[in-house]
Structure 1
Amino acid sequence: MRLLTPRAFGGHELSLDAFADVTMEIARADGSSGWCFSFLNIHSWLLATFPVEAQRDVWLENPDAALANVNVPAGKVVREEGGYRLSGDWPWASGIHHCDWAMLAGVVPPEPGAEGGARGDQLRRGGRELRAHGARAAAESEGPAGLTASSRRLPGCCRGLPDQG
């Protein structure tokens, strides 16, 4: 799981070319394994683009932490004093049964004096509920599950998404 994890957190920090080569070799032997391997590792690369505080939350105690990611901003993010609150239903999350964390996104509606847009953060697995849903491609290997987060408080900056500016 450390292929694309930064060296600063005990990873190998390999190039995307090396990652693609390894993924293709695994997929040659078994397509479902290649699919899961690619998703579980590419999310480490994605997290490495986030602010260091978000990376530290996930990798400081466990550099092998596996991450699910749902880029669709299906969640609702509400501003509240000192932070945000995230809730919603994400219809899929490849590999979620094998993950310690999920990176989820939602939309903050614009308000007077405050910009809206996509926001998100990563949530530890114990803080979310798995929800089964219908079959789809590769479902047998990744686990046919989506995610539901019920009113989770996030840090004030919703630091889980790279700077959009």
Structure 2
Amino acid sequence: MTHEVVSRIEELSGRLAATAEETERLGKLSDESVKIIRQAGVMRLLQPTDFGGYAAHPCDFAEAVMAVAKHCGSTGWVCGVGGVHPWEMALMDRRLQNEVWGENPDTWIASPYAAQGVATPVEGGYTLRGRWQFSSGTDHCGWIFLGALTAGADGKPLMPPKVMHVVLPRRDYTIVDDSWDVIGLQGTGSKDVIVDGAFIPSYRTIDSDAVAAGEIAAERAGRTETVYRLPFWAMFPLGITAAVVGIAEGALAAHLDYQRDRVTAMGTRIKDDPYVLSAISEAAADIAASRTQLLDGVSRLYDKAAAGAEITFEDRSLVRRNQVRCAWRAVSAVDEIFARSGGNAVRRQNVMQRFWRDAHVGLQHAIHTPGSLYHSTALTIMGVEPEGPLRAMI
């Protein structure tokens, strides 16, 4: 059954597509895009019910992100990234949850999680300094998750590194307005943020390993809903790859609209060109396969968590491998149809070129890097235990 949020997105799809160009031109989500996402309830899908959310199945979240990205890649991307933050906030101290959502359950939370700053311990918490890139949708958020290296008393990061996720209110960080000048996903406004010595109470921090393990953080937070027992490295990549798959679906839909009545310079109707039609079918099948495999992976993990079974490293590894492959397969399919769209496809007024650019920039996210992940998964399925860096982001 289609979730009510997905149904609302489909009902609002025309308005969303109409504002995509403005979102790209602004370099951040347009006011109309933000209004639509709030109206649909996308950002509250993974939010706990006691703070006005749905605590939804992760597949419902992924389908909502894809539905948005199909009409505006940048808005879908912000939903895919920002929509996971309520899931992690549900694992934080209840005092913090009340601070963030107590007065307004529609408060959005930004990130990034890369440990590009250092948290130095002081009485009652930490002081934080650093500069972080890629804070998607940050202009519309009241709070932010940041990855930070924990320092010792000397202010130097501990070795081996110990990473925390820390949470700050908007007043404690600076958004660098001119830091997002890119060729795709322009409307995400994924700007840099700077923190210069802000104090962070201990209750606004969480150990990244506890979140990565899934059930540990859920038990500590007293969360019994199945979705909060899933591992971070299944949930965070899900939203990002869902956005890429949704962008690919948008590219396919735009391609079909464009090619339906197109006649080439040589006078051939595309409807009579067997080579283009074959490419369309292959691309459509690959994009559909990416959608199916992405949803299947997180569903398998969800079912194990619901049954009280352990989610092993091998389970996580296989899902991550398939999730990465979903993104690459979908973008390759976009390349195949874009290459057969003729020279006019590159004109700014043709929406295909925006989907093509957005898809490729989405693939650049670190979560889609196949190298060490594929290496690790191959070892795992051969019965060899990966060590050290090969276990990263799994």
Please indicate the TM-score interval, normalised by the length of the shorter structure: 0.7 to 0.9
2:165 paired residue among 116, 120, 126:
120
Stretches of structure 1 that go unaligned for 5 or more consecutive residues are none
Give 2:205's aligned residue.
159
Give 1:129's aligned residue.
174
What is the distance in 1 between the residues matched to 2:184 and 2:169?
24
Partner-residue secondary structure (3-state), 1:25 = helix
State percent identity of aligned pairs. 28
Residues 67-78 of structure 1 aligned to structure 2 (within 5 Å): 67-78=109-120
CA contact (8 A) 1:50 1:162 kept: no
1:137 deviation in Å? 5.5
1:67 deviation in Å? 0.7
- After superposition, the Cα gap between the structure-2 partners of 1:149 and 1:33, relative to the gap in structure 1 and judged at 3 Å, is same
1:51 deviation in Å? 3.1
CA contact (8 A) 2:111 2:145 kept: yes
1:139 deviation in Å? 4.3
Greater Cα offset, 152-161 or 70-79: 152-161
Partner-residue secondary structure (3-state), 1:136 = coil
What is the distance in 1 between the residues matched to 2:72 and 2:203?
41
RMSD: 2.4
Give 2:61's aligned residue.
19
Is 1:142 matched up with 2:142? no
1:104 deviation in Å? 1.1
What is the distance in 2 between the residues matched to 1:161 and 1:61?
27
Q: Which has the higher helix share?
A: 2
Q: Could you report, residue by residue, the CA deviation over 1:118-162 in whole angstroms, capped at 9, with x for unpaired residues?
A: 123211112211113242364421114110011011113552445
What is the distance in 1 between the residues matched to 2:184 and 2:139?
14
Q: Which has the higher strand share?
A: 1
Partner-residue secondary structure (3-state), 1:20 = helix
* 1:119 aligned partner, one-letter code: M
CA contact (8 A) 1:103 1:160 kept: no
Is 1:84 matched up with 2:137? no
- After superposition, the Cα gap between the structure-2 partners of 1:40 and 1:82, relative to the gap in structure 1 and judged at 3 Å, is closer
Higher relative contact order (CA 8 A, sep 6+): 1
Residues 87-102 of structure 1 aligned to structure 2 (within 5 Å): 87-102=129-144
- After superposition, the Cα gap between the structure-2 partners of 1:108 and 1:158, relative to the gap in structure 1 and judged at 3 Å, is farther
Q: Could you report, residue by residue, the CA deviation over 1:31-58 in whole angstroms, capped at 9, with x for unpaired residues?
A: 2221122222111112223233332221
CA contact (8 A) 1:97 1:142 kept: no
What is the distance in 2 between the residues matched to 1:81 and 1:110?
13
1:73 deviation in Å? 1.0
Is 1:38 matched up with 2:83? no
What is the distance in 1 between the residues matched to 2:104 and 2:152?
36
- After superposition, the Cα gap between the structure-2 partners of 1:24 and 1:139, relative to the gap in structure 1 and judged at 3 Å, is closer
Greater Cα offset, 132-141 or 142-151: 132-141
* 1:147 aligned partner, one-letter code: V
What is the distance in 1 between the residues matched to 2:90 and 2:125?
23
CA contact (8 A) 1:85 1:154 kept: yes
Count matched residues. 163
What is the distance in 1 between the residues matched to 2:137 and 2:198?
22
Is 1:51 matched up with 2:93? yes
- After superposition, the Cα gap between the structure-2 partners of 1:121 and 1:24, relative to the gap in structure 1 and judged at 3 Å, is same
Larger Rg computed on CA atoms: 2
- After superposition, the Cα gap between the structure-2 partners of 1:96 and 1:24, relative to the gap in structure 1 and judged at 3 Å, is same
What is the distance in 1 between the residues matched to 2:121 and 2:128?
9
- After superposition, the Cα gap between the structure-2 partners of 1:158 and 1:107, relative to the gap in structure 1 and judged at 3 Å, is farther
